[in-house]
């Protein structure tokens, strides 16, 4: 599924017919805004992209993620990860951007770091940082070095590029004092593995690919743990039970399907593993206080 997602990305967005470096241990590519303009409308679709992306941008644009709208202008650096579902729009004719596109295996390399624990990739949020002209110039210098090495024949360029990507991450994190107290864990925690698992379970939900299961026991089994242990870990982090988090994620996905597809309520119920439409309608109203059609028609 992951490789298919990468291939679909190139078919849909990249207009020069090329593919990324094949010799690396994971996926990496360096793209320019001009590479992504084959179909600008595709950027505006509410979807997930199957990679980590770091964008160094110049100009005005808007990101949408969930119920959030993030407006950027001037010089900005933006971080997104594979768990974030978002859309992007710009009407700025002078908009410019450079993009580092990375898979998790590429970023991890041979280390055991948990990428979800890095502040710029944490909590399923789009991370943006406004830049001064001097800060933009410094990051642009690093991006240009990455682009130069990417085109080179240096046999150790993968490690060199990975180091420069982390230079970008560290430089950005140092710009925000509120991130300085954050200490990333060395190994991925149970709760982070759960959140990654649940996002993968909801990846590209459709009539042809409905949710396989939505019970806490199902996710606990996949994580080789018990529901009690999973509840304990999640409550410590979020104050919520596994069941509550799953229910919230179902409502989030239901709202996306209601607003961004023409699926009927019956079809959405099927997508989200409800055997009866009435069960889904009762669940939705209990969770939100209104019916699915009320939400769609507002």
CA distance 137 to 135: 5
Digit-coded pLDDT (tens) for 93-114:
899 999 999 988 888 776 656 6
Torsion, CA 146, CA 57, CA 127, CA 139, rounded to 10: 40
Query: pLDDT category, 298, cuts 50, 70, 90?
Result: confident
Task: Write down the pLDDT at residue 112.
Answer: 58
Dist CA 75 CA 98 (whole Å): 12
More confident residue, 127 or 22: 127
SS3 label, residue 77: strand
Query: Would you list the DSSP string of 111-166?
Result: S---GGGSGGG-TT--EEEEE-HHHHHHHHHHHHHHHHHHHS--TTHHHHHHHHHH
| Alpha carbons 129 and 120: distance in angstroms, whole number | 10
pTM, rounded to two decimals = 0.63
Predicted pLDDT at 118: 76
- Residue with the larger pLDDT of the pair 157 and 45: 157
Query: What tens digit of pLDDT does each residue of 33-55 get?
Result: 887 766 656 566 656 667 889 99
All structural domains of the chain, each given as residue ranges with its CATH number in brackets, are 2-179 (2.60.120.280), 190-297 (1.10.10.60)
Mean pLDDT of 248-265: 89
Q: Is 37 exposed, middle or buried (0-12, 13-18, 19+ CB in 10 A)?
A: middle
């Amino acid at each position: 599924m992951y490789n298919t997602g990468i291939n679909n990305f190139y078919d849909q967005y990249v207009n020069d017919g090329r593919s990324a470096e094949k010799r690396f241990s994971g996926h990496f590519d360096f793209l320019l805004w001009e590479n992504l303009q084959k179909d600008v409308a595709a950027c505006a679709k509410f979807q997930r992209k199957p990679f980590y992306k770091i964008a160094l941008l110049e100009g005005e644009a808007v990101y949408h993620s969930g119920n959030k709208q993030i407006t950027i202008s001037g010089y900005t650096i933006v971080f997104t990860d594979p768990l974030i579902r978002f859309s992007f729009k710009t009407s700025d004719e002078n908009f410019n951007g450079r993009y580092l596109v990375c898979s998790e295996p590429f970023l991890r390399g041979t280390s055991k770091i948990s990428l979800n624990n890095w502040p710029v990739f944490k909590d399923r949020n789009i991370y943006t940082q406004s830049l001064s002209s001097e800060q933009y110039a410094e990051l642009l210098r690093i991006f240009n070095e990455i682009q130069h090495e990417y085109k080179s024949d240096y046999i150790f360029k993968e490690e060199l590029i990975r180091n420069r990507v982390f230079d970008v991450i560290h430089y950005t994190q140092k710009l925000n004092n509120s991130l300085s107290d954050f200490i990333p864990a060395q190994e991925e925690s149970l709760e982070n593995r759960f959140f990654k698992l649940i996002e993968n379970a909801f990846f590209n939900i459709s009539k042809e690919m409905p949710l396989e299961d939505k019970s806490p026991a199902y996710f606990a089994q996949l994580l080789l743990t018990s529901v009690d242990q999973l509840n304990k870990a999640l409550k410590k982090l979020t104050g919520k039970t596994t069941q509550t988090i799953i229910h919230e994620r179902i409502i989030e996905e239901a709202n996306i399907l209601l607003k961004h597809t023409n699926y009927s309520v019956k079809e959405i119920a099927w997508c989200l593993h409800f055997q009866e439409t009435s069960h889904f309608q009762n669940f939705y109203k209990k969770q939100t206080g209104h019916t699915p059609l009320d939400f769609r028609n507002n």
